Chain A
Amino acid sequence: MKIMVNDEAHDVRATTLAALVEELGYGGARIATALNGGFIPLARRGETALHEGARIEIVAPMQGG
């Protein structure tokens, strides 16, 4: 399935957001996720299905002012 992650094209096997996070190598990392601009909490990643063309954002702590 072709999807966008942080604005980069990926072809993935995962069909849920939780599986995607594992497949891409973020397992265990302190991150937050959004699907098509909407926040998806950690507890809902497993039930959140991906679809062709989905736009995923994966963010993590960063320096800020």
Chain B
Amino acid sequence: MSAEFYGVSLRSPLMMGTAQYPSPEILREAVQAALPGLVTVSLRRESAGEQAGQSFWSLIRDLNVSVLPNTAGCYTVKEAVTTAHMAREVFNTEWIKLEVIGEPDTLQPDVFGLVEAARILSEDGFKVFPYTTEDLIVAEKLMAAGCEVLMPWGAPIGSGKGLNNVFGLRALRAHFPGVPLVVDAGIGVPSHALRAMELGYDAVMINTAIAGAGDPVTMARAFSLAVEAGVLAREADPMEERDMAVPSTPVIGKAMLS
């Protein structure tokens, strides 16, 4: 049973970023190989001469995939809220991946600004996907601010370190059983994404791990298979872990040969 994000079921629990690909053509092939539930996009200054944004938009539109605009690079509530408004007009969607960054070395969310921006935007009709930490209390404040989805980080953006705090992510899952949860940021290889899905997360958000691979198209497919395996594994009700060995081959009927 797949989760609904603000009432919408995605075709896949894989969310793909569109940045850092070696070329637009490789991005297009990667999206076609993985068939993600959505792709994230952003806004940047447009030069009247080049109009690079227009050709990017035409590529995304032709892929016929849902888009989730972000507020990446925003360090203040005002910047993030203004960017969200611009994104709503440009992309014609109320969905916004809200990032309010605290400092540049870790790109850790400024959770205080995040909660404030989430409240302002939710009251204005936005469907907010907040990029947050695994902190339970922050998560509660985000829910109270109007968020119906949470996107905790696995590790710092672009680090590829995977799930840095499995305990924290598991606690968040247990604390919000009905809330769609997405691991955003820090995933490096498909096993990290699979692990997130096995923990009960509803989706994973991947950019650098695919775009930065030697062969992004093959890696996109690998992530697509990994999240599918995770969904199946969870539906199949995994066995309990034990400290001691238990023979899997029956002992009864074993020949006496000693």
Which A residues are closer than 8 A to B by beta carbons? 6-7, 24-26, 29-34, 37-39, 41-42, 57-65
Contacts and interface: CB of A to CB of B under 8 A. Distances in A.
A65 B48 contact: no
Given A26-B46, A60-B54, A65-B207, A32 B18 contact: no
Nearest to A24: B48
Contacts of A62: 41-44, 52-53, 56
Contacts of B43: 32, 59-62, 64
Nearest to B16: A65
For B27, B51, B89, which residue has the most chain A Cβ atoms within 10 angstroms? B89
B45 interface: yes
A63 B46 contact: no
Contacts of B56: 60-63
A37 B78 contact: yes
A64 B18 contact: yes
A37 B74 CA distance: 13
A65 B46 contact: no
B48 A61 contact: no
A59 B45 contact: yes
A32 B86 contact: yes
A57 B42 CA distance: 15
B41 A64 contact: yes
A29 B58 CA distance: 11
Contacts of B52: 60, 62
A39 B85 contact: yes
Interface in B5-36: 17-21, 27
Contacts of B85: 32, 39, 41
A33 B18 CA distance: 23
Nearest to A57: B45
For A6, A25, A62, A64, which residue has the most chain B Cβ atoms within 10 angstroms? A64
A41 B92 CA distance: 12
Given A32-B90, A61-B91, A62-B53, 20 more contacts: A25-B49, A26-B48, A31-B90, A32-B43, A39-B86, A59-B45, A59-B53, A59-B86, A59-B90, A60-B51, A61-B41, A61-B54, A62-B42, A62-B43, A63-B42, A63-B56, A65-B17, A65-B40, A65-B207, A65-B208
